[in-house]
Amino acid sequence: MGGSGAFGCLFIFGFMCPAFLCLSMWGWMTMCGVDVFTWHLLHLAACLLQVCHLLYRMHQEGIHSEELSSLYQAVYLPLGVPVQVFKKIAKAFEYKVVELKAGQTYALENKTPVDQLSFLLSGRISVSLEGQFLHYIHRHQFLDSPEWESLRPNEEGKFQVTLMADEDSRYISWRRRRLYMLMSKERYIARLFSVMLGYDIAEKLYNLNNKLYIKSGVLLDIRLPSLYHVLAPASQGSEGGSGSDSGISKEQQSRDSTHQMSQHQRPPLGPRASSSDVPLTPENDHRELPWASEPDLLSGSDGNDNFPPRFKRGRAPLAPTDTPKL
């Protein structure tokens, strides 16, 4: 009727209290029996105690801070994290919310040690490297997830970037040692942080990927640093490729032009002889084959001169060795 949870029990015992109160009054005023009155009065007291216990337990299990409650509703509840587990996570940062004013720095490159993990609740943080802007960190994102994943539990390191508050921000922070101790005890929490950190790092990488463009306008995929898709024709390889690629494309164009000239200068063939006059044997067949012979293939000679231009194979362009700065 009311459910099996705490709210369901509170609903049931909340209706039982006035019911036993009415029965106690009925036993005292109508039945005039002390035993009937006492029996229903004991039931009323038990129901009142149960209601008080449920209210106390709900108060203890609830999230007192409004910011932490909104954090749980927005981030942890969609992942199916129970409130008890979230309270263990919140206990690890001692329910403290740190405020960062606009213009203040959270970390300086090559100076601030990596000794904590922070999660942004509100505001916006800008990330820069050597004074050059990289990307923003928005609400409900980790501030230092790449630094956290790059170090082992027993290693120490420093930030390679500078994090500065672009506007008034608030964040929570876990101490490195305390969070590692919690994850070593709670396997579920360790898996939860692994998923959240991996998703956060992937978002940061894709934000950086939008800024890596080569000169020809092709988007460079940072997941495959040695390969990239060429959307321009081969003749434009000199724009985004190296000097060797341009030389190869020019050589291939010259081969195509010489092959076409040789085809135009070839004299026309006479009337074809009948099969009865001249037997068709490999010795008598003087027609030029459009493919290379077997000795040429074994010797490694270039047989591409006999190929039509559409069947010729060109070398794949190499990845750019000088990537532009962000």
Rounded Cα distance between 76 and 197, Å, is: 13
Within this chain, do residues 106 and 192 fall inside the same structural domain, yes or no? yes
Q: What is the mean pLDDT of each run of 10 residues along the chain (326 residues)?
A: 71 89 89 88 92 81 79 91 90 89 91 92 91 88 90 86 92 92 92 93 79 54 45 40 45 54 48 45 46 46 49 45 48
Residue 242 pLDDT: 43
Rounded Cα distance between 71 and 77, Å, is: 9
Question: In sequence order, which residues have a C-beta less than 8 Å from that of residue 309 and are 6 or more positions away?
Answer: 256, 259
Residue 191 pLDDT: 94
pTM of structure? 0.54
Of 311, 308, 280, 282, give the one whose Cα is nearest residue 294. 282
Rounded Cα distance between 2 and 9, Å, is: 7
130 phi/psi in degrees, rounded to 5: 55, 40
Q: Is residue 285 part of a domain?
A: no
Is the separation of the CB atoms in 5 and 58 below 8 Å? no
Within this chain, do residues 76 and 202 fall inside the same structural domain, yes or no? yes
User: For residue 174, what are the β-bridge partners?
Assistant: 117
Task: Find the domain containing 14 and state its range.
Answer: 6-61
Residue 244 pLDDT: 42
Q: Is residue 280 part of a domain?
A: no
Q: Is residue 221 part of a domain?
A: yes
Q: Is residue 89 part of a domain?
A: yes
Which of 188, 209, 230 is the endpoint of a domain?
209
Within this chain, do residues 204 and 218 fall inside the same structural domain, yes or no? no
Within this chain, do residues 74 and 148 fall inside the same structural domain, yes or no? yes
Residue 180 pLDDT: 92
Which of 157, 183, 209 is the endpoint of a domain?
209
Is the separation of the CB atoms in 229 and 235 below 8 Å? no
Residue 65 pLDDT: 79
Cα–Cα separations (whole angstroms), residue 58 to 96, 134, 213: 22, 45, 55
User: For residue 175, what are the β-bridge partners?
Assistant: 116
Residue 276 pLDDT: 45
Q: Is residue 248 part of a domain?
A: no
**How far is C-alpha 11 from the chain's CA centre?**
43
Ranges of H-type helices in the chain: 6-29, 34-61, 66-71, 83-92, 145-150, 176-185, 187-209, 237-240, 243-265, 294-299
Q: Is residue 86 part of a domain?
A: yes
Within this chain, do residues 51 and 176 fall inside the same structural domain, yes or no? no
**Which CATH number fits the domain that encloses residue 166?**
2.60.120.10
Within this chain, do residues 26 and 115 fall inside the same structural domain, yes or no? no
